[in-house]
Chain A
């Protein structure tokens, strides 16, 4: 064995450190946070959160420089069999930036919450950073193996974060449910991957694409493989009917983590799904399109309908994010249609960006309000506008954006989704567009329920003392609100991100 190994010339892979810099910074950062946490005094644990924040911003720097340098597709690890498995292109960079920024906002939101809850701060941030590292890797992964590893990388810390409220039985329940179902889903996905590998003989996505129909016939095994893989990610993005974990976990987890899960983790799932759909399955549109169509339609409809009946704001947001997930899935139903792919990709990316900003903002308000009301009930928002006008207005802005009302960011995201499916001009496209249009109204109904509480209802217990919002949350609010408005008024800023000919073009062949 050894002889045979020696017989082969070992050529070390070329490493493009610049392209790999974000991951390296993150990895280093999380080690530092872990170490610092070990040595600083209990009272100075706030340092960890600051460090975590700097780590994320630090990781953002290479992302920006990479983006500025050029639009060549980079292969951080290139070598004989490595080229193409881990890729840094525009698509990856945008999403990395998104994950890092979302992570930063989550850190801002967490600082006060975690500190007050007397949780283990160091571990918390380490896990958060690890999960973000997984996401950042996910954005670049173009191989079944790396996708799987990235997925687990981002998931396993997330399981632990979900159960962070150790002494709270709800927290335990949330963590356990998330964990078991997550693992189960990834097991199913893995089974699908194994089959996919079996029928194509490769794990490299760009090779799977051409190979998937190379044998001429599209067999049942192909279908099974594709279906199982999609299911795995559908779970991650909590698409109906793989959504049940979401409300429970969202409710049980600490609110910043809920925000993190509903935005970043979900986005990672979408990223993987999008990559797969565009790179690995371009010829399998017959399989995944109806499947995703059902997922999208069911997600928006059932998510909305279930959200209507919620009384707990976090659960409502859980269902809302399920329904928003349906909207993000919507363009993917036409990803394989000639000419519409580009629109679809743009739509997904733009939607993710806008949704991240808006939803994080909404959760920031929820955290700020919960500091006073100590309640997750929607009715606890009664009269918010009268005693905390700024929070009231901000929440209104976020809700309106989620409802898709111009000129807030949400409208452009929804618009892009509609545009993509109509661009396809197929019957499926029109059908989902109509379903989505109706769902927009249903969604507006429960968003507006919250607005109604904020503006029109009296303060429930008459306690109208103003809310003091910690500066870190204020910062989070400013970032998210600014992004929400700017993206709505000048959507071109983010619209350009979607010019991703590479993913569909070069890699899609």
Chain B
């Protein structure tokens, strides 16, 4: 199998993720989109790791998975916080500060 397939998958996932971040106004959806990007990165890394035959990529992917979990934890906490204060998690309402 060609590495291109994996990379293509990664790229597609990345694009979907980016689109989600830009287009979704629901904070949770945005979070999920970011997770998609991270996963696309993971796919890339794993594919490259296989390609190069060293473990750096694998290690990297493991770290990313771990860190992503922490990130999502923080993120969800923040979403909760906002929901508590505003009863909404729509991002477009977060525009109090300007200038």
Contact = CB atoms under 8 A, between A and B. Distances in A.
A191 B44 contact: yes
A176 B31 CA distance: 11
Nearest to A309: B99
A180 B17 CA distance: 13
Contact of A197 (B30, B40, B45, B94): B45
B34 A183 contact: yes
> How many A residues are at the interface, by size bracket?
35 or more
Contact of B41 (A177, A184, A194): A194
Interface stretch (A161-169, A273-281, A366-374, A425-433): A161-169
A279 to B, nearest CB: 16
Given A156-B71, A183-B71, A247-B99, A201 B81 contact: no
Interface string B36-76: 01101100110111011010110110011001001100110
- Contact count band on B: 35 or more
Contacts of A203: 56-57, 59-60
B97 interface: yes
Given A148-B67, A170-B96, A195-B44, A159 B54 contact: no
Nearest to A187: B37
Contacts of B70: 152, 156
Nearest to A311: B99
Interface of A (DSSP majority class): helix
Most buried by B among A173, A193, A251, A312: A173
A194 B75 contact: no
Interface in A133-160: 144-145, 148-149, 152, 156, 159-160
Contacts of B99: 247, 309-312, 315
Nearest to A249: B97
Nearest to A221: B7
A145 to B, nearest CB: 5
B96 A173 contact: yes
Contacts of A149: 63, 67
Contacts of A310: 99
Interface string A391-424: 0000000000000000000000000000000000
Nearest to A166: B81
Contacts of A145: 56, 59-60, 63
Interface string A229-255: 000000000000000000110011000
Given A145-B63, A173-B96, A176-B78, A197 B34 contact: no
A202 B60 CA distance: 11
A82 to B, nearest CB: 11
A151 to B, nearest CB: 9
Interface string B67-99: 100110011011101100110000100111101
Contacts of B45: 194, 197
A315 B97 CA distance: 10
A194 B10 contact: yes
A165 to B, nearest CB: 10
A190 interface: yes
Nearest to A196: B48
**Most central of A174, A191, A202, A204 by chain B CB within 10 Å:** A191
Across the A-B interface, give the 6 residue pairs with the lowest CB-CB distance, nearest first: A194-B44, A201-B52, A198-B48, A187-B37, A190-B41, A203-B56
18 contacts: A152-B71, A163-B78, A166-B81, A172-B78, A173-B97, A177-B94, A180-B75, A183-B34, A184-B34, A184-B37, A187-B37, A190-B38, A191-B10, A197-B52, A197-B56, A204-B56, A312-B99, A315-B99
Given A194-B48, A197-B57, 18 more contacts: A144-B60, A145-B56, A148-B64, A149-B67, A172-B94, A180-B30, A183-B75, A184-B21, A187-B34, A187-B37, A193-B41, A194-B10, A197-B49, A197-B52, A198-B44, A198-B47, A202-B52, A202-B54
